[in-house]
Amino acid sequence: GAVVSQHPSRVICKSGTSVKIECRSLDFQATTMFWYRQFPKQSLMLMATSNEGSKATYEQGVEKDKFLINHASLTLSTLTVTSAHPEDSSFYICSATGVEGGDTEAFFGQGTRLTVV
């Protein structure tokens, strides 16, 4: 099946710094990628939807200037958490849609555990 690789899996950073998370579709072209945030024992929260070559669509309440999303190619999307604060500590996960067996499906990355100290 299709594979989505997310990197890094864990990162610790200092308050005020920026962190970049990469999401790559390894064997298919992903026209759409989704970025989620998840707090412990809670559901995934959709942050934004990004389409290759265009600006991301952010969900209500998600700060565009803080969570920068770039989807420059059909295989790579990045999420940059700028000027990170401890409250940004969370689990971030991406998914990418592609065609598998003739059907459009979403494939998920492994997730990134961000800790801001």
Binding site residues, another protein, CB under 8 A:
1, 9-10, 32, 34, 38, 40-44, 46, 49, 91, 93, 95, 97, 103-106, 108, 110-111, 113
Min separation Cβ 16 and another protein, Å: 24
Q: With respect to another protein, which residue has the nearer C-beta, 82 or 106?
A: 106
Report the candidate in 64, 97, 91, 58 with the shortest Cα–Cα distance to residue 80: 64
Structure-block tokens of residue 35 = 């970025």
Structure-block tokens of residue 114 = 């961000």
Q: With respect to another protein, which residue has the nearer C-beta, 65 or 102?
A: 102
Report the candidate in 3, 48, 52 with the shortest Cα–Cα distance to residue 24: 3
Q: With respect to another protein, which residue has the nearer C-beta, 26 or 83?
A: 26
Is residue 83 within a helix (H) or strand (E), and if so which, with residue range?
none
